[in-house]
């Protein structure tokens, strides 16, 4: 009885406070001097990081703190406009005029502006009953078999206010929501944007849809220099230090090779420098030896390769740290997240039985709260971390930004990441950005540089409350550290509304399955003692596997000329390609990262992938209506 009274009092008190903290919804349209809608204009509340972008009709919907406020509208080539608005008035019209400032010439490759109107935005809901264990070597296993259905999707570039079922009530000084004690794993739904697999699209949206936030956070992932490192036997060299040097031998960027022997290095990541690429070089350091690479290319010019005379070493140590926002705004999802993380850890132990797993966690709030950060160190005693996570609660908070940079600093600098680990992952669970100041920007830069140098791959998990500003920042940090961006979706019906990410398409999965898959893809390595598989290279061999890619039945009438066959498969390097109506082929690794682009000039041609380490790859092409088609290609030694 006392419990019911206490809960009723909390509910009444929360509802009372809710009346003083209810956000206001403003809708409207942005037009030019000729009353034509402006697509992709940035609209945000002045003095905050709350913002959105206009849709294909120039319309926007934005939740603001005050009923009377000032909106700032920005769009490339137009003057910034400030507009005083009243939330009580519907369909505000904001007009912006063209700027008289002459802009530098901008060349957009891949998804050019002329193609943006043809991009189809969609999502696919995947039903994943479980996470399949590893297939036999040498190739990493494919993703688990999935049944799926396609569902119509809202414009991915627009943040919308939607009605949702809440499990509690909000208050102005934090949250007084009742915890969901029945939270179970497999409830939350999520998606992933692996921007390395959509590199041209990332450059497009970063330069247009999300351009307002580049200057705000002062991070510019554009000048990318990738490296594939193997030994003389074609095995991936894991956990090697790779440095990007300028002409004076100063270190521009430093990182480590991942579980597939790849490294991502960046020039001018925190500097908006214009002009041609600088003369740069690479230096690889491994087991006390140095190996220079004098002539290198940016990703736009091609992948960089290096083979060094070192022995294969098994790198089975896997370090994982969970960084979690524990302020009151996370209360709608944190109990579910705790259940999901516990399940993910068990899945990882099952699917990577030989991994030397070490876990740690950092929970954080904000300045002036009960604590800023609290942690449990990296430890092979898994229960120590899981028990710590289960004991944490979401409380406090008030303003939107939180002490994100403080938590990242603790996780990167104070956790004892093992120097011999083959995989280091940091999952950042958050629903708000860091505060913005010159000091915090400097901290974000130093922490990001150090994370990359230590080989720590940042994987954000964006929860309800994330805005476009935070999305841009988190996707940039993921790129800088060779990670990937994940986010919760509304499909589970849990928590407040989640914004749609700015992309063309994505799959909706169960969060636990998605995270287990990401960890597997980032941690799986071939055993050095694994016997090689002999590839079939004789085109007339009746036992040879020929990959034949066919269009879906509903697409064949629109593209009768498209066809693709390639063989042998497996291959030791050379691959014969028979293609019709296909101008380009893309090679991607099993995580989806695009590695190389091949121009197909003739119906019959040969490509060579022998410079990559043995494993499973994907050879695919893109149709005019932005559909990816292709098949697996196994490289053996």
Is the pLDDT at 151 greater than 60? The verdict is: no
Domain assignment of residue 277, yes or no: no
pLDDT band of residue 158 (cuts 50, 70, 90) is very low
Please report the pLDDT score of residue 107 as a whole number.
Answer: 28
Instruction: Compute the mean pLDDT over every residue in the chain, rounded to the nearest whole number.
Output: 78
Number of domains, the chain: 3
Is the pLDDT at 58 greater than 70? The verdict is: yes
Structure tokens at 511: 């969060």
Is the pLDDT at 61 greater than 90? The verdict is: no
Is the pLDDT at 202 greater than 70? The verdict is: yes
Q: Which tens digit of pLDDT belongs to each residue from 280-307?
A: 999 999 999 999 999 999 998 888 999 9
More confident residue, 16 or 335: 335
Is the pLDDT at 600 greater than 50? The verdict is: yes
Residues 60 and 126 in one domain: no
Euclidean distance between CA atoms 632 and 582, whole angstroms: 18
pLDDT band of residue 129 (cuts 50, 70, 90) is very low
Domain assignment of residue 273, yes or no: no
Structure tokens at 236: 């991936």
Q: Which tens digit of pLDDT belongs to each residue from 397-418?
A: 666 799 999 999 999 999 999 9
Domain boundary pick from 481, 507, 523? 523
Centroid of chain to Cα 39: 24
Domain boundary pick from 71, 103, 135? 103
Q: Which of 18-27, 244-253, 501-510 has the lowest mean pLDDT?
A: 18-27
**Which helix (H) or strand (E) segment is 494 a member of?**
none
Residues 65 and 171 in one domain: no
Residues 321 and 430 in one domain: yes
∠ Cα 275 279 280 (to 5°): 120
Q: Which tens digit of pLDDT belongs to each residue from 318-351?
A: 999 999 999 988 887 888 888 888 889 888 888 8
Residues 95 and 185 in one domain: no
Is the pLDDT at 192 greater than 50? The verdict is: yes
Residues 518 and 561 in one domain: no
Average pLDDT over every residue of 472-494: 95
pLDDT band of residue 206 (cuts 50, 70, 90) is confident
Average pLDDT over every residue of 19-38: 75
% of the chain with per-residue pLDDT over 70: 75
Please report the pLDDT score of residue 543 as a whole number.
Answer: 43
For residue 195, CA distances in Å to 2, 184, 201, 324, 531 come to 52, 30, 8, 23, 34
pLDDT band of residue 358 (cuts 50, 70, 90) is very high
Q: Which residues pair with residue 73 across a beta bridge? A: 43, 81
Please report the pLDDT score of residue 317 as a whole number.
Answer: 96
Euclidean distance between CA atoms 25 and 371, whole angstroms: 33
Domain assignment of residue 260, yes or no: no
Q: In a 10 Å sphere around its CB, with 0-12 CB exposed, 13-18 middle and 19+ buried, how is residue 627 labelled?
A: middle
Domain assignment of residue 305, yes or no: no
User: Which residue, chain included where needed, has tokens 């016997």?
Assistant: 531
Q: Are strands 147-151 and 122-127 parallel, antiparallel or unpaired?
A: antiparallel
Structure tokens at 525: 């390595």
Domain assignment of residue 111, yes or no: no
Contacts of 131 (CB under 8 A, 6+ apart): 144, 347, 350, 351, 513, 516, 517, 520
Average pLDDT over every residue of 377-392: 93
Q: Which tens digit of pLDDT belongs to each residue from 555-594?
A: 666 666 778 888 888 888 899 999 888 888 989 887 788 8
pLDDT band of residue 373 (cuts 50, 70, 90) is very high
Domain assignment of residue 262, yes or no: no
More confident residue, 3 or 589: 589
Residues 374 and 497 in one domain: yes
Long-range Cβ contact pairs of 203-207 (< 8 A, separation 24 or more): 203/108, 203/109, 203/110, 203/111, 204/108, 204/110, 204/111, 204/112, 204/116, 205/157, 205/502, 205/503, 206/472, 207/106, 207/108
Is the pLDDT at 480 greater than 80? The verdict is: yes
Is the pLDDT at 191 greater than 90? The verdict is: yes
Residues 162 and 80 in one domain: no
Domain assignment of residue 9, yes or no: no
Is the pLDDT at 175 greater than 50? The verdict is: no
Please report the pLDDT score of residue 228 as a whole number.
Answer: 94
Residues 73 and 145 in one domain: no
Q: Which of 46-60, 124-138, 156-170, 595-609 has the lowest mean pLDDT?
A: 156-170
Q: What is the separation, in whole angstroms, between the first and last Cα of the chain?
A: 70
More confident residue, 179 or 513: 513
pLDDT band of residue 428 (cuts 50, 70, 90) is very high
Q: Are 620 and 594 in contact (CB under 8 A)?
A: no
Domain boundary pick from 488, 523, 558? 523
Please report the pLDDT score of residue 99 as a whole number.
Answer: 53
Residues 556 and 516 in one domain: no
CATH number at residue 82: 2.60.40.1120
For residue 537, CA distances in Å to 566, 588, 613, 637 come to 12, 21, 18, 12
Is the pLDDT at 8 greater than 60? The verdict is: no
Q: Which tens digit of pLDDT belongs to each residue from 84-128?
A: 888 778 778 888 876 543 333 322 222 222 233 333 456 666 654
Residues 353 and 401 in one domain: yes
CATH number at residue 417: 3.40.50.410
Is the pLDDT at 501 greater than 90? The verdict is: yes
pLDDT band of residue 438 (cuts 50, 70, 90) is very high
Average pLDDT over every residue of 486-515: 91
**Which helix (H) or strand (E) segment is 172 a member of?**
none
Domain assignment of residue 493, yes or no: yes
Residues 139 and 53 in one domain: no
Domain of 572 in residue numbering reads as 547-635
Highest mean pLDDT among 131-135, 482-486, 594-598: 482-486
pLDDT band of residue 28 (cuts 50, 70, 90) is confident
Please report the pLDDT score of residue 460 as a whole number.
Answer: 98
Average pLDDT over every residue of 410-439: 96
- Look at residues 259, 242, 253, 246 and name the one whose alpha carbon lies nearest to residue 304: 242
DSSP string, 205-230: HHHTTTTHHHHHHT--TTEEEEEEEE
Q: Which residues pair with residue 68 across a beta bridge? A: 86
Structure tokens at 437: 């100041």
Residues 37 and 128 in one domain: no
């Amino acid at each position: 009885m006392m419990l019911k009274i206490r809960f009723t009092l909390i509910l009444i008190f929360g509802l009372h406070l809710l009346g003083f903290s209810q956000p206001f919804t403003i809708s409207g349209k942005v037009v030019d001097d000729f009353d034509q809608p402006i697509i992709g204009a940035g609209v945000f509340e002045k003095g905050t990081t709350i913002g959105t972008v206009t849709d294909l009709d120039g319309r926007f919907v934005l939740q603001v703190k005050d009923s009377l406020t000032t909106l700032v509208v920005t769009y490339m080539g137009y003057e910034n406009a400030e507009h005083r608005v009243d939330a009580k008035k519907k369909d505000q019209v904001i007009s912006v005029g063209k700027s008289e400032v002459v802009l530098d010439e901008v060349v957009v490759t891949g998804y050019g502006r002329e193609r943006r109107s043809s991009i189809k935005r969609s999502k696919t809901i995947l039903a994943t009953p479980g996470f399949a264990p590893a297939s036999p070597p040498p190739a990493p296993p494919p993703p688990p078999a999935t049944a799926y259905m396609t569902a119509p999707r809202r414009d991915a570039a627009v943040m919308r206010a939607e009605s949702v079922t809440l499990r509690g009530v909000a208050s102005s000084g934090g949250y007084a929501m009742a915890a969901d004690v029945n939270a179970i794993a497999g409830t939350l739904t999520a998606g992933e944007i692996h921007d390395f697999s959509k590199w041209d699209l990332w450059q497009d949206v970063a330069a247009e849809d999300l351009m307002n936030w580049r200057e705000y956070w002062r991070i510019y992932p554009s000048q990318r220099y990738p490296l594939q490192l193997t030994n003389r036997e074609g095995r991936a060299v894991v956990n090697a230090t790779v440095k990007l040097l300028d002409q004076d031998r100063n270190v521009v960027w430093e990182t480590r090779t991942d579980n597939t022997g790849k490294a991502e290095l960046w020039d001018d990541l925190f500097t908006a420098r214009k002009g041609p690429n600088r003369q740069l070089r690479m230096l690889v350091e491994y087991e006390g030896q140095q190996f220079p690479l004098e002539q290198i290319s940016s990703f736009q010019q091609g992948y960089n390769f290096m083979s060094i005379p070192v022995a294969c070493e098994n790198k089975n140590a896997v370090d994982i740290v969970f960084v979690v926002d524990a302020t009151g705004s996370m209360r709608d999802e944190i109990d579910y997240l705790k259940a999901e993380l516990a399940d993910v850890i068990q899945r990882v132990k099952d699917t990577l039985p030989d991994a030397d797993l070490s876990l740690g966690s950092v929970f954080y709030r904000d300045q002036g709260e009960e604590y800023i950060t609290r942690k449990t160190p990296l430890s092979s005693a898994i229960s120590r971390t899981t028990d710590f996570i289960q004991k944490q609660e979401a409380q406090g908070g008030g303003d939107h930004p939180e002490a994100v940079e403080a938590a990242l600093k603790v996780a990167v600098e104070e956790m004892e990441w093992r120097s011999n680990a083959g995989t280091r992952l940091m999952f950042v669970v958050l629903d708000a950005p860091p505060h913005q100041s010159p000091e915090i920007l400097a901290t974000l830069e130093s922490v990001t540089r150090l994370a990359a140098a230590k080989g720590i791959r940042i994987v954000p998990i964006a929860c309800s409350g994330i805005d476009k500003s935070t999305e841009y920042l988190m996707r940039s940090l993921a790129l800088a550290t060779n990670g990937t961006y994940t986010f919760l979706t509304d499909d589970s019906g849990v928590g407040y509304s989640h914004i749609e990410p700015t992309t063309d398409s994505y799959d909706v999965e169960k969060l636990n399955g998605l995270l287990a898959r990401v960890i597997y893809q980032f941690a799986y390595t071939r055993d050095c003692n694994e016997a090689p598989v002999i590839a079939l290279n004789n085109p007339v061999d009746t036992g040879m596997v020929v990959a034949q890619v066919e269009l879906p039945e509903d697409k064949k009438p629109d593209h009768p000329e498209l066809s693709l066959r390639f063989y042998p498969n497996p291959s030791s390097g050379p691959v014969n390609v028979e293609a019709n109506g296909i101008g380009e082929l893309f090679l991607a690794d099993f995580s989806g990262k695009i590695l190389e682009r091949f121009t197909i000039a003739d119906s019959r041609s040969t490509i060579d992938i022998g410079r990559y380490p043995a494993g499973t790859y994907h050879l695919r092409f893109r149709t005019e209506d932005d559909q990816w088609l292709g098949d697996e290609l196994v490289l053996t030694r």
